[in-house]
């Protein structure tokens, strides 16, 4: 493609790309615009300063992004693999060897199990069938699956049975998945029953950590889960900035950035 020298022309195309999809990658914009990666980064910074988008690791999302549905399990598994693996390793470092832990559903939560020490001797509770399978294959601990309805794709278990079953436990720590984390709307998700189960995890666990890579910062999914001040911490791959960073600090949420 012919290089676009006028910033306004490039900015218009970037906005069109954001309108067509939830997330645009910096490397893809290099190809679309025919300019250097440094130019794309300057354009994204300029648009962010105008409130048109939010920069995240590897690209950008639209400002005040409100997706109606999440991507497929396959799409999410393939996206941000390195970032999710780093988050999983950082989260696993928080786990005591004899703890009772809850692992939520989702592709990032699965990486916590992948990073846990095989010698872990505690109790692992989960509503994720992939997480339960992986844990039973590589860990020596007891694995308990919450009962309920199974959602295709993520193979996520939720519903009243799962809520009731979880109520018999008092976990030391919970690792929660997320649809988005926002300064105003807090933790949100896409599935109502799974959001309710996540609220139950929050209420019963001594400490709850949200797992969210940079693409979920300032994103608001349809179902509210919790306000920021209900969370103990956030494990992420990039330091939250702007309003989100300030709101997390004001709420006393500990930030653990996976390097």
pLDDT tens track for 88-99: 999 999 999 999
Tell me the CA distances in angstroms from 229 to 184, 209, 217, 237, 251, one per residue in order. 11, 12, 16, 21, 5
With cut-offs at 50, 70 and 90, classify the pLDDT of residue 65: low
- What letters, b where the CB count within 10 A reaches 16 and e where it falls short, cover 10-46? bbeebeebbeeeebbebeebbebbebeeebbeebbee
The answer to whether residue 21 scores a pLDDT higher than 70 is: no
For the entire predicted model, the pTM comes to 0.74
Comparison of pLDDT for 200 and 4, the residue scoring more? 200
Q: E-assigned strands of 68-172?
A: 100-103, 123-126, 142-145, 149-151, 156-158
Topology adopted by domain 7-62: Arc Repressor Mutant, subunit A (1.10.10)
CATH number, domain 73-257, options 3.40.50.1360, 3.40.190.10, 3.40.50.261, 3.90.1750.10: 3.40.50.1360
Q: 28 near 14, Cβ under 8 Å?
A: no
Q: What is the token pair recorded at 64?
A: 């005040």
The domain locations on the chain are 7-62, 73-257
């Amino acid at each position: 493609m012919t290089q676009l020298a006028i910033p306004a022309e490039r900015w218009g195309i970037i906005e069109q790309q954001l309108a067509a999809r939830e997330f645009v990658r910096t490397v893809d914009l290099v190809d679309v615009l025919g300019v250097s990666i440094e130019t794309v980064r300057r354009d994204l910074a300029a648009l962010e300063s105008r409130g048109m988008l939010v920069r995240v690791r590897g690209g950008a999302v639209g400002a005040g992004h409100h997706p109606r549905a999440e991507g497929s399990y396959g799409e999410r598994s393939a996206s941000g693999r390195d970032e999710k693996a780093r988050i999983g390793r950082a989260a696993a470092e928080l786990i005591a060897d004899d703890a009772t832990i809850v692992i939520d559903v989702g592709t990032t939560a699965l990486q916590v199990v992948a990073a846990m020490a095989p010698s872990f001797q505690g109790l692992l509770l989960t509503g994720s069938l992939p997480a339960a399978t992986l844990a039973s294959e590589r860990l020596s601990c007891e694995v308990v699956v919450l009962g309920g309805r199974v959602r295709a794709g993520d193979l996520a278990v939720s519903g009243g049975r799962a809520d009731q079953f979880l109520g018999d436990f008092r976990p030391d720590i919970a690792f929660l998945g997320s649809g988005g984390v926002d300064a105003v709307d807090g933790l949100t998700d896409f599935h109502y029953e799974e959001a309710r189960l996540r609220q139950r995890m929050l209420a019963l666990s001594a400490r709850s950590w949200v797992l969210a890579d940079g693409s979920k910062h300032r994103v608001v999914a349809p179902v509210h889960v919790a306000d920021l001040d209900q969370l103990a911490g956030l494990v992420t791959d990039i330091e939250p900035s702007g309003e989100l960073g300030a709101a997390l600090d004001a709420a006393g949420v500990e930030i653990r950035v996976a390097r």
